[in-house]
Amino acid sequence: MHVGTAAPLLVLVACSSGDLRMRANASTAAGVANGNEDTLVTGSLPSVGGTTGIPDDPITGGSINTAGGAPTDGVAHAAGSPTTGASTNAGGAAQTGGMANTAGLSIMGGSINTGGTAQTGGMAETGGSSITGGSINTGGVAHTGGSAVTGGSIAIGGAAQTGGLTGSGGMMATGGAPGTGGGPAHRKFVGNITTENRMDALGLRFADYWDQITPESAGKWYAVQPTPASPYDWTTLDAIFDYAVQNSLIFHESPMIWESSVPSGFTADLAHAWIDAFCDRYPTTPIITVVNEPPPHTKPVYADEMGGNTNGDWKWIVTAFQWAHDACPNAILLLNDYNNIEYASDNANTIDIVNAVKAGGGPIHGVGAQAHDAYRIRTATVKAYMDKIHDETGLPVYITEYDVGLADDAAQLAVYQEQLPVFLETDYVPGITQFGWIEGKTWRSNTGLVREDGSFRPAMTWLMETLRRPRIAQAASKKRPMDR
């Protein structure tokens, strides 16, 4: 709905759900953000490689789609504090059970992780891995998705405790600390959102297929605090966050500020308190969408209380990023919007706002592109708009809500086969989040990847094979690797 750096993940010893959040305090995490759309123009769709009529598109002509949408949420843990320069993380995180990088194969020509290191009984690796331009882990941490290499290429996969995903030369690092233009680091991921506030669905274990999670609704302000007088209710979000920690998933909180998730009667002071409360409870959140769908799409009623937008400086957005950075100093902070890699006017608007926020001192680390309409657009055009955002802002581009709304299996597969490799192979795209996977439970019709009977649509089969996530046989047998 509207409505492309790397850090090792924190691995915790067995403990209660409450302890998970408290123990996560000991380490910092990297972050990213996300959002969704509300409305979508329907009609005939182009074949893959074809063009759609869009007047804003410099390559094609026709009519423009103005969409709207709803955001999603999510979070993950990373060990070690990201800093500017080469700092060290003393200590190391212990892993209980599970295996990191087991049979982690390379799919993009990088170094192949054969075997990996199994950590049992909560023993930490010694030595750690060094990342050029980032921090050096000297205490040892569990790796999920390929070990880091000097100048290495992107790791695409690598969820721990699931038999090992792919690694193509190690972790991806963008360098720099929050607030310095680089942001923290994390492995490259292909993740998804929750399904009706649940992780697993149809007997399929979410962590077997995805290495990042965004709560579809539970992370929105109104879901935690329905009215100004309501106490915070963290119950649902706690469950999702704890699942992410237990399964070494990158957690993306989305969004902090979004007009569509703000009930009436809320003020700037309450918004500030909400951000502080979230970060007090989940201080290791790696990725946060701070502002979702900025003007001309949406604007909170309390924007003027936060500084307004005097002469195009977007002071209220700068303030939101400052609040988020103060409360969650180790998170990657994103501004997220729809249509910004599909249509020229939205692309230019995103670039203008991001550069104004940077000029105003806002600690922004990345740009979120929902990409709901990407499947309607020529892939070359989508890539050109991604390049433009990256080249003109200097920031990575996160694909935050990707989906392909085609009922025809072959047509959906063809789009995935053309567009996903572009996202995966683009070094400034740190991660891709699917916007749902269970048919009949997604925001938009025909975007599901798994049918209601649990069988895979061809695009899901191809995606899992491409990511070297050996879950195809598991789906057929209904068994996890540890059950065999």
Q: Which residue has the higher pLDDT, 109 or 338?
A: 338
Strands (E), 86-173: 88-89, 136-137
Domain ranges of the chain: 17-85+152-483
Q: Which of 348, 391, 347, 344 is nearest to 369 (CA)?
A: 347
Most confident of 139-148, 177-186, 468-477: 468-477
17-85+152-483 belongs to which CATH class?
Answer: alpha beta
Residues 6+ away with beta carbon under 8 Å from 398 = 4, 32, 33, 34, 287, 334, 336, 366, 367, 368, 369, 429, 430, 431, 432, 433
Give the pLDDT of residue 64: 35
Model confidence over 68-78: pLDDT tens digits? Answer: 343 333 333 33
Q: Assign 263 a pLDDT band (cuts: 50, 70, 90).
A: low
198: helix, strand or coil? strand
Reported pTM? 0.67
- CA dist., res. 107 & res. 444, Å (int): 31
Q: Per-residue pLDDT averaged across 306-328, rounded?
A: 95
Q: Tokens 């949408």 label which residue? A: 69
Q: Distance of alpha carbon 420 from its chain centroid, rounded?
A: 15
The whole-chain average pLDDT of the chain stands at: 71
List CB contacts of 261: < 8 A, sequence separation 6 or more: 3, 71, 220, 221, 222, 223, 255, 292
**Which tokens go with 366?**
């990345």
What is the rounded distance in angstroms from the CA atom of residue 212 to the CA atom of residue 189? 6
Contact 29, 212 (CB under 8 A): no
Instruction: Give residue 311's pLDDT.
Output: 80
Q: What pLDDT is recorded for position 75?
A: 34
Question: Does the pLDDT at position 108 exceed 60?
Answer: no
